[in-house]
């Protein structure tokens, strides 16, 4: 009878250890998922800011000439500006269907200054990841 109670005690301990590890595993999995999500968002934000800054430099380098900026970026016309599509690795793609991110460059003509542009990068859901305004300055004039 004593062996029977030792077996029951051993099984209880085993069940408690398994329960402890199951709870610990679920907590760790939540932490890892949160870390992955944060890492992905950070990577996308960094890539979006680099793409927007590159577009701003192209715009500034052409002294606000939208046609030359379009050629440099490999962009396409969009309503009153330009757009460039990027895949999940932020590599420019010409296909809107395979794009995960879109860069918009919109000249701000309504402010009377043809050398200003609003540049923003949005994801598939329409959330703005990064946005900036660029102004091309012609030092020769």
Report the pLDDT value the prediction gives residue 109, as an integer from 0 to 100: 72
What is the phi/psi pair of residue 127, to 5°? -75, 130
What is the phi/psi pair of residue 32, to 5°? -65, -40
pLDDT tens for the chain, 141 residues: list them. Answer: 455 678 888 999 999 999 999 999 999 999 999 999 999 999 999 999 999 999 999 999 888 888 999 999 989 998 889 999 999 999 998 888 889 999 999 998 765 566 889 999 999 999 999 999 998 877 665
Q: Please list, residue by residue across 57-82, b when 16 or more beta carbons sit within 10 angstroms of its beta carbon and e when fewer do.
A: ebbbebbbbbeebbebbebeeeeebb
Q: What would the pLDDT profile of 50-70 be if each residue is shown by its tens digit?
A: 999 999 999 998 888 889 999
Sign for the pseudo-dihedral over CA of 60, 81, 65, 96:
positive
Report the pLDDT value the prediction gives residue 111, as an integer from 0 to 100: 57
The CA distance from 77 to 60, in Å, is: 18
Residue carrying the six token digits 């715009």: 59
Q: Which two tokens stand for residue 79?
A: 């309503």
Report the pLDDT value the prediction gives residue 6, as an integer from 0 to 100: 80
Task: List the domain boundaries for the chain.
Answer: 2-135
């Amino acid at each position: 009878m004593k062996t029977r109670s030792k077996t029951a005690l051993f099984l209880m301990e085993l069940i408690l250890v398994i329960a402890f590890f199951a709870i610990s595993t679920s907590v760790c999995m939540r932490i890892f998922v949160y870390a992955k999500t944060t890492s992905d968002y950070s990577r996308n934000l960094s890539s979006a800011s680099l793409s927007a800054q590159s577009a701003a430099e192209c715009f500034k380098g052409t002294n606000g000439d939208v046609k030359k900026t379009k050629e440099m970026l490999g962009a396409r016309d969009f309503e009153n500006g330009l757009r460039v599509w990027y895949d999940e690795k932020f590599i420019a793609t010409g296909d809107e269907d395979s794009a995960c991110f879109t860069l918009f460059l919109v000249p701000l003509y309504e402010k009377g200054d043809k050398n200003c542009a609003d540049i923003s990068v949005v994801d598939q859901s329409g959330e703005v990841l990064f946005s900036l305004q660029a102004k091309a300055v012609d030092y020769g004039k």
